[in-house]
Amino acid sequence: MVSLRNSSDSPVPTIYILTATHYRLVQFAELTRMCQTLLHIKNVHWVVIEDAAAPSARLENFLNRCGVSFTLLATKTPSEQVLPPGQPRWRYARGVVQRNRGLQWLRENFKLGQNEGVVYMADDDNTYSLRLFDEIRTTKRASTWPVAFVGRLIWEGCVTKPGHPDIIYRMQTIFKPWREFPIDMAGFAVNLQLILSHPDAKFVADPKLYGMLETDFLKKLGLRNFTDLEPKADGCKRILVWHTQTKDPDIVALDNMKTGFQPTMLPGEFFEMTIPPAIMVIYSQLNPCGT
Amino acid sequence: MVSLRNSSDSPVPTIYILTATHYRLVQFAELTRMCQTLLHIKNVHWVVIEDAAAPSARLENFLNRCGVSFTLLATKTPSEQVLPPGQPRWRYARGVVQRNRGLQWLRENFKLGQNEGVVYMADDDNTYSLRLFDEIRTTKRASTWPVAFVGRLIWEGCVTKPGHPDIIYRMQTIFKPWREFPIDMAGFAVNLQLILSHPDAKFVADPKLYGMLETDFLKKLGLRNFTDLEPKADGCKRILVWHTQTKDPDIVALDNMKTGFQPTMLPGEFFEMTIPPAIMVIYSQLNPCGT
């Protein structure tokens, strides 16, 4: 957990990637891709926080196989924060208590003034250019860059002053443009020291604060507005992260999970495929593609 | 282009990855992830075939930056094979002429009896375990393994005889289960020699052959049915590839492509963000999230 030092003996800050994750069919596909991305990055520590009462063996096995330095934590989203069925997805911010658990872990394990590091909240469905991590690593207090496919724009985020790639003078956004930090979670990184020096800075799950999760958090870290952030990605001129989303697979009968198909088969674990004959009959009566 | 040799001087077959790709908003995000996967694989050559009259500079720049050994080709889907708007996606198989262009390239560049290699048709939206490529590389004629999220099942594909992980005795599938090869494109690999020894084996775009693309091709390679295939992935017991699909981003106005936002901005290229003030007014009149 000690920061590595490069050949010139100056510290290379560790990047702490905080990833909230929850069970779904595509979970291990997305974590597999993210693992392959992080495997390319030096001096990274992946803090994965499961939405569960306790860490699952499936996820622990996966992370062990992945090969990236990791910590697996778990905390369950309280029932009152769980999105009711049929409600629009934005009704509740997801991953709130998990990200807070990750922040708690940082505060329990590192001390103000002692550890070099940078913190990035990276969801498991986004797409990350390898270059993004070089940009993140040099964050002194808090930094930002544009993110593709956010807020119903092709990209959303910082715009620097012409001829001054180090000065952000406006934010490209259409959703609640009055926000002090019109930024998606994928669009900022924070120095570990700033997290440690503001022990009460947490994310708040409140539908009334819809869309304000990032702004509320960054203000609690003592930042006033986007002009306080360090612009990255060549003066905010490159797309290095895409807010991609994966479709839910079109599966005939999720009931099959109660029978021969088991979700535990998916992570690439060894699995047995013993499907009762009755299930096969049911399937053969279906005409899945309308032909 | 010559196969590398490992320390024991036995040839390590090159894996030729044939990827048909077409322009869309998420194209470079998906290619970025696939690049990061392939960067982990030794002795791989990525043959990317664009749906375009000629290779684009954007894609060539991307592949140069990616760092994987590559060949960029292009061929445009004939207008009669282009899916009419509003038609179901399965109406025409996509990537047909592009994959054939890839096969043509293999036949132009390699000679029967001379080059060791294995061919895999890998779409840019799937998720690949790194271990999949170890499995592919040892393909003698043609091999197969289960694929997740295909044919409306959690996984579709080979099932081996209990106690005989080297013998496929049935295929887990519900879509046209009478197909000789009930397999998705992501579920098989073919030895280069088999491609070269069957110079007329190509993919056929015909809506009447819906769902038969893979079967038709494998039969043209002289294979009878799935029992002719080598089972991989621990006797078909692991999921090493997921047929994931990425959602189309929800963008306010694709018209913006005609104005300040340009699709060429997306690949991570250096881009300028000069949005005419008029466009900003249009945006500010929109209320994208209904709040």
CB contact, 8 Å: B211 with chain A? yes
Residues of chain A with CATH 3.90.550.10: 2-242
- Of all residues in chain B, the percent with pLDDT exceeding 90 is 58
CATH number listed for the domain at residues B2-242: 3.90.550.10
Tell me the backbone φ, ψ of residue A109, rounded to 5 degrees: -105, -10
pLDDT exceeds cutoff 70 at B68:
yes
Of A61-70, B29-38, B63-72, B169-178, the least confident: B169-178
Q: B252 pLDDT band (50/70/90 cuts)? A: confident
Contact call for residues B136 and B143 (beta carbons, < 8 A): yes
Helix (H, G, I), strand (E, B) or coil at A28: helix
* CB-CB neighbours of A81 under 10 Å: 15
Please give the helix or strand (H or E) that residue A281 lies within, else none.
helix A277-285
Of B286 and B56, the structure prediction assigns the larger pLDDT to B56
CB distance B30 to B124 below 8 Å? yes
CB-CB contact of A29 with B148 (8 Å): yes
Question: For residue A88, what pLDDT is reported?
Answer: 67
Flag if B29 and A177 touch (Cβ within 8 Å): no
Residue B39's pLDDT is 97
Inform me whether the pLDDT recorded for B275 exceeds 50.
no
Q: Which residues pair with B49 in a beta bridge?
A: B20, B73
Check residue B207 and give its pLDDT. Answer: 83
Give the per-residue pLDDT at A10. 58
Put simply, the answer to whether A249 touches B154 (Cβ < 8 Å) is yes
Identify the segments of chain A with pLDDT beneath 50. Answer: 1-7, 254-291
* Nearest residue in A to B271, CA atom: A237
Contact B181, B168 (CB under 8 A): no
Q: List, in order, residues 6 or more apart from B178 with CB less than 8 Å away.
A: none
Whether residue A238 lies within 8 A of chain B, CB to CB, comes out as yes
Residue A22 and residue B194: Cα distance in Å, rounded?
43
Please give the radius of gyration of chain A, using alpha carbons only, rounded to the nearest integer. Answer: 21
Q: Is B145 left (phi over 0), alpha (psi -120 to 50) or beta?
A: beta
On the question of pLDDT at B279 being above 80, the answer is no
Q: Which of A73, A36, A35, A34 is nearest to A53 (CA)?
A: A73
Residue B205 C-beta-side C-alpha neighbours within 13 Å: 18
Q: Above pLDDT 70, what percent of chain B?
A: 81
The more confidently predicted of residues B229 and A26 is B229
DSSP class of residue B207? G
Q: What's the pLDDT score for residue B42? A: 96
Phi then psi for B207, rounded to 5 degrees?
A: -55, -25
Gyration radius from chain B CA atoms = 21
**pLDDT tens, position by position, B74-95:** 999 998 877 777 776 666 778 9
Instruction: From the candidates A30, A50, A180, A214, give the one annotated as an active-site residue.
Output: A214
Identify whether the C-beta of residue A268 lies closer than 8 Å to the C-beta of residue B241.
no
CB contact under 8 A, A26 and B250: no
B253 pLDDT higher than 70: no
CB pairs under 8 A between A and B: 181
Quote the CA–CA distance of B237 and B133 in Å, as a whole number.
Answer: 16
How far are the Cα atoms of B143, B174, B235, B284 from residue B227, in angstroms, in the given order?
A: 10, 18, 13, 61
B165 Cβ contact partners less than 8 Å away, ≥ 6 residues apart: B231, B234, B235, B236, B237
Tell me how far apart the alpha carbons of residues A35 and A13 are, in angstroms, rounded to a whole number.
Answer: 20
| Sheet containing strand A188-191, strands side by side | A70-74, A44-50, A14-21, A117-121, A188-191, A142-144, A230-231
Write out the two tokens for B78: 């004939």
- Between CA A144 and CA A173 the distance in angstroms is 14
* Residue B208 one-letter amino acid: K
pLDDT of residue A200: 97
For A157, left (φ over 0), alpha (ψ -120 to 50), or beta? Answer: left
Q: Which of A236, A244, A271 to mutate to test binding with chain B, by most B CBs within 10 Å of its CB?
A: A244
Numbers of helices and strands, H then E, in chain A: 8, 12
Q: Is A221 on the interface with B (CB under 8 A)?
A: no
Q: What is the Cα–Cα distance from B85 to B77, expressed in whole angstroms?
A: 15
Contact B242, B146 (CB under 8 A): no
Read off the tokens for B258: 């005609």
Distance CA(A62)–CA(A59), nearest Å, equals 5
Q: Does B174 touch chain A (CB under 8 A)?
A: yes
User: How far apart, in whole angstroms, are the C-alpha atoms of residue B72 and residue B63?
Assistant: 8
ipTM: 0.86
Going from the C-alpha of B252 to that of each of A186, A242, A286, B117, B195, the distances in angstroms are 20, 17, 38, 46, 46
Q: Find the distance separating the first CA and the last CA of chain B, reported in whole Å.
A: 57
Judged against a pLDDT cut of 70, whether residue B268 lies above it is answered with no
The annotation status of B125 as a binding-site residue, yes or no, is yes
Give the model confidence (pLDDT) of B181-205 as tens digits: 999 999 999 999 999 999 999 999 8
How far out from the chain centre does Cα B39 lie? 16
User: Which pLDDT belongs to residue A58?
Assistant: 86
Q: Which pair of tokens denotes residue B154?
A: 């959690």
Residue among B89, B70, B75 nearest B18 (CA): B70
Q: Does B80 touch chain A (CB under 8 A)?
A: no
Window from A80-84, B110-114, B142-146 with minimum mean pLDDT: A80-84
